[in-house]
Amino acid sequence: MKIIRLIFFIVHVGIAFLLAATLLNAYVPPKTFPWFNLLSLGFPVLMIAYILLTLFWIISWKKRAFVFLLFGLLFFKPVIRWINYTPQKNETPDLKIISLNAKGGFYGKENIESYIDSQHADIVMLQEYGAKNTYHFKGMKEGPQSYVITIFTKHKIVEHKQLIDSDYNYNNAYVSHTDIEIRGKIYRFINVYLQPFKFQKSMVKLNGDSEEDEQKVKDVVKRLIPTFKMHQEQIGAIRKSIDESPYPVLLAGDFNSVPNSYEYYHLAEGLQDAFVEAGRGSGTSFHDYKFPIRIDYIFSSKSIQPISYKVDRSVKLSDHFPIIATFKIENKSE
């Protein structure tokens, strides 16, 4: 039994170090050391293992349980970026936003239109909407399109700018900002689709053949590392739009990045994560793999109060679930 406890202790300490390394994504960019960002993908598994081992020490009545409990508090904020529970807020929202990666309308463009019409949103931000698709949402007008992202609104569009556009060879990211006037005040909406990893299920599914599985893992890592580095470049243009905006900002879309990643830390800086502030349950938004993956987000300036946040798992309109957030905004005119 002592040997088992020693093994558990060594494993527990190792997991603690790996979890701590994910916190360094706030400081170490992928171009300097991408492996911390790679660790962020495994955060849910590492955290579950850490909790189970901590429970083992508690049941065993070992003093080290208190050390691991105290150390585990470091990961409270990282955990609630994946799974959260906030009390229901009594304020009445006056802005509703939907963000959806539509997967090119593969699951049915008409299904997306019907769903969006039923939600009565003020702003709809689509990624991978499919350039050949033309969407019509009741009472909403479409902003300027790009090949992958587009925005719909019930309100007046003041200005639109493409921040990142694909060159079809190296860069496949798309980001734009749209300044929209709502009841006399202007807000900047940034629609994000960061560089995709371009995985297929067959590329990540292990089949039990050790040599083949090892090669698959190597191929996945070879694809992940360059993409992390591209994300670092793309974040610069987005941060400039946020930092130089004369208006309150709402940032949403498919970041192709998990919480606790370099991308999350640097895009969320100075903003509120609507899921952390008002979400309940799991934030997992990508459902095509049997693994908890949250890569879709809605952030807001601190002057905009998140009232509710929902990952709508009642519908399957693409390989992403729609994310819906409501906010309380100031109504006074400038």
pLDDT at 96 > cutoff 50: yes
Tell me, yes or no, whether 19 and 150 share the same domain.
Answer: no
- Least-confidence region, from 26-40, 77-91, 201-215, 291-305: 201-215
Lookup: tokens for 12: 């527990």
pLDDT at 188 > cutoff 90: yes
| Cβ partners under 8 Å of residue 226, min gap 6 | none
Among 33, 64, 80, the domain-final residue is 80
Lookup: tokens for 112: 């997306």
pLDDT at 108 > cutoff 60: yes
| Cβ partners under 8 Å of residue 36, min gap 6 | 21, 22, 24, 25, 28, 262
197: enclosing H helix or E strand: none
Does a structural domain hold residue 333? no
Predicted TM-score of the model (pTM): 0.91
Query: At 208, which amino acid appears?
Result: G
Q: Could you tell me if 179 and 157 are in contact, meaning their C-beta atoms sit under 8 angstroms apart?
A: yes
What is the number of other CB atoms lying within 10 angstroms of the CB of residue 6?
10
Tell me, yes or no, whether 231 and 213 share the same domain.
Answer: yes
pLDDT at 57 > cutoff 70: yes
pLDDT band at 334 (very low <50, low <70, confident <90, very high): very low
Which residue did the predictor score with more confidence, 112 or 291? 112
Look at the chain and count its residues. 334
| Cβ partners under 8 Å of residue 163, min gap 6 | 175, 176, 177, 190, 237, 238, 241
Beta-sheet strand order (sheet of 296-301): 156-164, 174-182, 185-193, 249-254, 296-301, 271-273
Tell me, yes or no, whether 56 and 96 share the same domain.
Answer: no
Tell me, yes or no, whether 188 and 203 share the same domain.
Answer: yes
Q: Domain containing 159: what range?
A: 86-328
Among 80, 100, 125, the domain-final residue is 80
- Least-confidence region, from 15-29, 37-51, 187-201: 187-201
161: enclosing H helix or E strand: strand 156-164
C-alpha span between 233 and 252 (Å, rounded): 18
pLDDT band at 208 (very low <50, low <70, confident <90, very high): low
Question: Helix (H, G, I), strand (E, B), or coil: what is residue 323?
Answer: strand
Q: Read off the pLDDT of residues 130-182 as tens digits, 9 standing for 90 and up.
A: 877 889 999 999 998 778 999 999 999 999 999 988 765 567 899 999 999 99
Beta-sheet strand order (sheet of 141-142): 141-142, 149-153, 123-127, 95-101, 323-328, 305-311
Tell me, yes or no, whether 97 and 231 share the same domain.
Answer: yes
pLDDT at 111 > cutoff 90: yes
- Find the angle CA(186)-CA(188)-CA(189) to the nearest 5 degrees: 130
C-alpha span between 103 and 105 (Å, rounded): 5
Tell me, yes or no, whether 127 and 57 share the same domain.
Answer: no
C-alpha span between 42 and 98 (Å, rounded): 28
Among 39, 63, 80, the domain-final residue is 80
* CATH at residue 181: 3.60.10.10
pLDDT for 1 equals 72
Structural domains in the chain (count): 2
Q: What is the mean pLDDT of residues 70-92?
A: 94
Tell me, yes or no, whether 90 and 75 share the same domain.
Answer: no
